[in-house]
Every structure is written in structure tokens, then in C-alpha cells.
A and B are shown apart, each in its own frame.
Chain A
Amino acid sequence: METIFESIFDDLANGASNLSIPYRSRTATARSRLLPDAHDSSAAGVRPDGLVTFPGRTPHEANKFASLLRILEISREAIATGTVITKRNIYYQNTDLFKHQRVVDSLVDDLAFTLGVGRDDLNIVAAAKGLIAGPVTLTMRNNSVIPCGLSHESGTLIPTPKLIRKIDFGLTAWILVIEKEATFRTLAAAGYHTKSLAGHGILLTGKGFPDLATRSFLNIIHSARPHMPMYALVDYDPDGLSIVRTYQVGSSSLFHEADTIAPELRWLGIRSDQILPSTQSTETSASTQSSQETSDGSGHEPSIAERSGDELSQLNRTPRPMHNRNAPLEALSQLTPRDRRMAISMLQGISQEQRVGDTDGLDQMRELQMMLMLNIKAEIQAVDNLGDITHWLDERLCE
């Protein structure tokens, strides 16, 4: 970064006709081709990377140059003073210059990519939106202490991961990543992180699609405790699977951001076999020999009384009440055309990656195909018991 500023100052001192900032777009590079906005005609000669120059060929490029220069100034000052600035703050420095928040977001990420660093190395962070609840204590670099187990109702806002100096995990045995804030708040209010049969744990939500700070935080937790199990609880729909996959492998638009992925995250649910009526048989199936039933009657299914008897005997065989009942049909809904397009797009993405030994990918492909076959989706509420999902979670966390 200093080299960029020195180069600009030298050009100014020498009366050069152009000023330039190296710039590589992530999307252009992702397409395996460089897309330079301009070529530098300075005495330094043509560079292999693209450049944004001033005054440039278009007003758009001039604006881009000014925006990049401003972001570099802000980042440089943040690094020098040891502070961190959010992308939101950058936008508000010069709203007229940047015009839209997404312009700042995109330029910051492209700049990090060009310089070959993570966004955090520029001391620029996204405003965190993730919440955490659990018996852990975070000590920040400025020595402030954040206990995360006190706010039962609302959880604790995830701090800037870069500024965390130490995490005291206490008795924490697991972490559960939850798609929806409402589910998170319900579980936090119930104190599930300390009352679970699986022991103490951390509840974390990214409030839908996870931002980089939340993903970085999960990565930090995993780095500190590599063997602590991590689970994901999302809706049974393409968005839910997309969220799991983003935590596991990152998003395609930010592939240069290291330290933001959690490949060991396990998808706890919601899965097709947890919601479908009749896909879980309560009968003992003879796998080695066929069991043929014959009937002389009308072929009716067993009567309600008979089924109740089966269910009662099933209950008696377990030490805890069975909460494995299938979702009520009202909790299932039909995939929208957008859902189907997204599922197919994800199938394409996973099949293109074709990572060796990507068992998670194969598992996710199977579930996406099941969604498409069934043409249904379901929310987390599909498996709760009148709003209480704790028993369902206990069973799966204790497996």
C-alpha cells in the first residue's frame, strides 16, 4: 500500500499526465481472464495487472480512482492508529463520492484481492450482525471483557473477530450455528446453552446468510478448539443449504478470504428424513429376507388402533419419550420457481467444484435432488414440539 502512495507522489512530483492504482476485479479473475480498465503509459511501462488511472478515459473511472484512493487513505490511517473501521463507516465518510454502500463493499473486497490480503488486513470489517449465547468469555485486545452467557433474551453481538485476544471456553462442549434469529432467541431464552443434555454449548446465529465477521468468528472458535463439534441448524430449503455451504466452504464472491471457513461444520438438520411422513418406518425391516404381507381384505392400511399399539410399543422401548414424529403436513410447503432455480444452480456449483472426498458435497447434492423430487421445503419449526425444539436437538446432539 505504501508503494502505491509513493508511486502516486512520485508521479505528481514529476508532472506525470496519469496517476494509477493497481486494481483487479474478483469476478474478472474468477472468469480466468484479466479485465484491465486502462493501461498505464507511464515510464514504468505496461504492467500485467489492470490499473485504474486518473483522469482516465471515463468519468466513471475517475470516480473509481477517487473512491479507491479514499479507501486506501482510510485503511492506511486505520492500520497506523491500530483501529478498525467498518465498511459502513467508510461509506459515510463520503456518501456523495461512493453513492452506494455496495460500491464500497465491492471496492474493498476487490482491493483486498488485488493486494493479496484478507479484508481484515486492511483493518476494514463488515459491521457484525451475528449473535452468540453461551458460557464463554471474550477478552479483547483493549483488555475489555465480554461475557456471552448473561443476556439470555437477546444474546451478545459478535465483536470484530480481529480484535479478540483470548476466548475462555469454560465447560463448552459444542457449538450450534442457527440460521434464524427467532430460533436462536427462543433457545437462548430457554437457556439451552447450559441446560442441554449434551452439556454446555454455544449458540450462534448469522441471522440468515452469514456475514464475514460471523464466519471469521466461527473459524476462530474452531482454531482454538479444533475437536469441539460444530453443528448447523437451517431450514430445509435451498437457502438453508446455501447457508451451510457458505459456512463450510465460503462464498464464491469472497474466495480470497482465508480464515473464514469452517469445513468441519456438520449439517444437523433440517433434512428430508426428519420431516417426511412415512420415510421413517416404525416396523422392523428384515434386510436379509423379504417380508411379504398378504391380505384378503380391501388392502386397507392397519387401523388406527393397531397403529397406536405399534407406537405405544415403540415408546416403551426407549428411555425417553419419542419426539421423532414426522412433520405435520401443514409445515411443508411447495418449492417456488426461484427455489428450484437456486437448487439447480447449487447442484451445478457443487458438481463443478468436484472436490475429491467432498462427502459433504455429495450429501448436499442428494438432499437438493430430494427437494427437487419432492418439490417441498420446510422450516425449522417443522420439527419442533409446539414451539419447543429442545428435545429434538437433545436427541441429535447426544448421538
Chain B
Amino acid sequence: MSKQYLTLHTVDNAHIADIFSLAATKSCILSASGSSTLHIHATTTSSSFPLIQSISNAHRLGIHHVCTSRGGPGHVAVSAGFGGELKVWTCKDTGDWVLYHEIAPDKSRAWAVALSADENFLAATTEDGRVVVWDLAAKSKVQTYETGSTSTGGGPFGLAVDLSRDGRLTASGHQNGGVYVFNNDTGRMVYSLSGLAKPVRAVAFSPGCKRLAAAGDAGIIALYDMEHGEHVGNMGGGGLGNAWITSLDWNETGEYLLSASLDGKVKVWDVARGACVATHSETDKALWSARWLPRSDKALGPGMAKGEMFATAGANRSVTFYREATGIDTR
């Protein structure tokens, strides 16, 4: 059965440059773009999603990734600049975000970033295919996973990274279509997953940590079982010239997966049935990020309903918010 999502609001011209990444907490959403500024919009106080903070000169050359912890308290965010530097931000009780720590560019620049659910660990991919893990409390590097031989210049560019919510696994997606899963307790690679022959631009663990979704230029979403590392299915595809998928995000129950693609479409997938249940095309320009908004503990502002919400952003420089139509909500 299909699912209805309404366009709740669009923050037009949220940035003066293309937006490349979104990260959500229970009360706000952070957006990062080719400009040097991080913008933060409230997500629970008003259906106009007002701008509540702008961090100017966060990254001089622009920002390509920003992340918060999925399923975590939402007090930490990490942004990655085109110059290769990473910045760790913390949210004070007042709601203001302040710089906590900066990680200088490495010889091989950091690219994608992910935070652990407890916000203690940061994982980042590099241009030479490594995945580096930092302990944020200790402000030190604690692990480096390799996907290629250092004697041959490293592995394929790491385009995507995610940490499972139980903290046990790290997954990375790479330029050559490779998907790798590492065990954080043993420090070893446990799976090298095949099935996507083109660059993998998004990887995401399900909230229950049993599934990994991966997608990219092949235009399909591959699903893997994390108990045995098996490729258990695909969603989408079937046609020629599928749009490159740039972003994946599971909702909190693990029933639905969000995907964004370069043709401007955002899709909601029913994972159990392997079917697309909703598609929106607010823009025909590239979408770079789609994120579910975590349910808030606080009371919502007037005009805001209780349906599940998600947000998208991309080359049209706006952030668009969607809400599940509550009339058909079966919960």
C-alpha cells in the first residue's frame, strides 16, 4: 500500500551555495553547503522551521558533510570541509552550537563522517580509502582500517561511512563499488560486500543493526544481512539510466528507508516489501541529502502534526520538509 507524505514547508535559499549535507537532532537540523557557513533550523517549535543559528566561516572552502549521531542524544555534530579539516561541535544547554575540537587535514583528506550513537566516536573515510576512528573525549585517533595496500598508494576513495548503533560495526562505501564492514571490537574487516559495481555514495545500518543498505551510481539500493554478510536483495533499478543515489537514511523503526538522487527525487522505500511507497520531486536539481527527523520528546509547536517527518536538500539551495499524512497513519 502506498504512503502519503505532504510537503510541509520549504526554506527557500537556505544557503547561498549548493547544499551537500543535512544532519538532524531531536530539536534542530544542521545544513552544510559550498559556502563557509553552517546553518541550523529549529524543527520542533514552528512549521516554518526558523533559522536559529548560523556559524560563519566554519570551513573556509565550503562544507561537504555534516553528521549527528543516529539514535543518540544529539549534542554533538561533526562537519567536514573541502580543505580536509574536520570540526566537532557541541550543543550547549542554551541550544547554541560551539566548536569543541578541530582535526587538521591529514595527508589524505577526510571525506565522509559518522558519529556513534553514544557520541563518543567519530569515523571518517579518506581519499585513499581508509576509515579512521577518533575517540572524541580523548581527542585522539584510536583505529585505522585499510581497504588497500599502503605500498600501492592506498585503497579506493572512501565516499561513505556509517557506524552501527550498537557500536559494534563500521561500514564504508568506496569509489570502486566496494562496501566494507569492520568489527570495532576486533579491529578487523569482517565483510567485503559485492553487488554494486559503481561508486557507492551512501551506506546506512538499520536501527536494529541487522541490515546494511548501500547505494550509489548504480541507482539501486543493495541490502546486506549483517549476521552472515549476505546480499539479501535490491530495491529500485530495473531500468536504464537510473539516477545516481546520493543519500540513504532509515527511519527509527527500521521499516522505511529514505533515498535521495541526482535527478531531484526523494523516495520512501518499504524495506520488508522491497517497494517504493512514495516519491517526491520538489526540484529537478540534484538532491545531495535526505534525513528523517527524529521524533521529539517535547511538545510540538502549533501547526505541526505528529506524523513522521523528513527533510531534503541539494543543488536548489533550499531545505524542504515533508510530513506523513496522519489521516492514513495506521499506528
Contact = CB atoms under 8 A, between A and B. Distances in A.
Interface string A346-376: 0110010000000000100110011011010
Interface string B116-133: 000000000001100000
A283 interface: yes
A334 B83 CA distance: 19
B5 interface: yes
Interface bin, chain B: 35 or more
B82 A279 contact: no
Given A299-B235, A369-B82, A372-B82, A278 B241 contact: yes
A80 B267 CA distance: 75
Interface in B85-131: 109, 127-128
A183 to B, nearest CB: 26
Nearest to B235: A299
Contacts of B199: 375
A304 B275 contact: no
Given A291-B281, A299-B275, A369-B82, A278 B236 contact: no
A285 B82 contact: no
A27 B6 CA distance: 59
Contacts of A294: 2-4, 277-279
A142 interface: no
Q: Which of A283, A294, A303 has the most CB of B within 10 A?
A: A294
B242 to A, nearest CB: 6
A366 B16 CA distance: 10
Nearest to A346: B61
B264 A281 contact: yes
Given A276-B262, A299-B267, A369-B62, A375 B157 contact: yes
Q: Which of B5, B62, B269 has the most A CB atoms < 10 Å from its CB?
A: B62
Contacts of A337: 127-128, 153
B75 interface: no
Contacts of B276: 295, 298-299
A300 B278 CA distance: 12
A283 B62 contact: no
Contact of A299 (B60, B236, B241, B243): B236
B61 A348 contact: yes
B280 A290 contact: yes
A300 B236 contact: yes
Contacts of B280: 290-293
A285 B265 CA distance: 10
Contacts, number: 140
Contacts of A277: 241, 243-244, 262
B288 interface: yes
A369 B7 CA distance: 29
B235 to A, nearest CB: 6
A303 B239 contact: yes
A126 interface: no
A340 interface: yes
A347 B81 CA distance: 12
B61 A347 contact: yes
Given A290-B282, A304-B239, 4 more contacts: A276-B286, A292-B278, A301-B236, A348-B83
Interface of B: 1-7, 17-18, 20, 34, 60-62, 64, 82-84, 109, 127-128, 153, 157, 159, 175, 199, 235-244, 261-264, 267, 269, 274-286, 288, 322
25 contacts: A277-B241, A278-B244, A278-B262, A279-B262, A281-B263, A281-B264, A293-B278, A294-B2, A294-B3, A294-B4, A294-B277, A294-B279, A295-B2, A295-B277, A296-B1, A297-B275, A298-B276, A299-B235, A299-B277, A304-B239, A307-B239, A347-B82, A351-B61, A369-B18, A373-B288
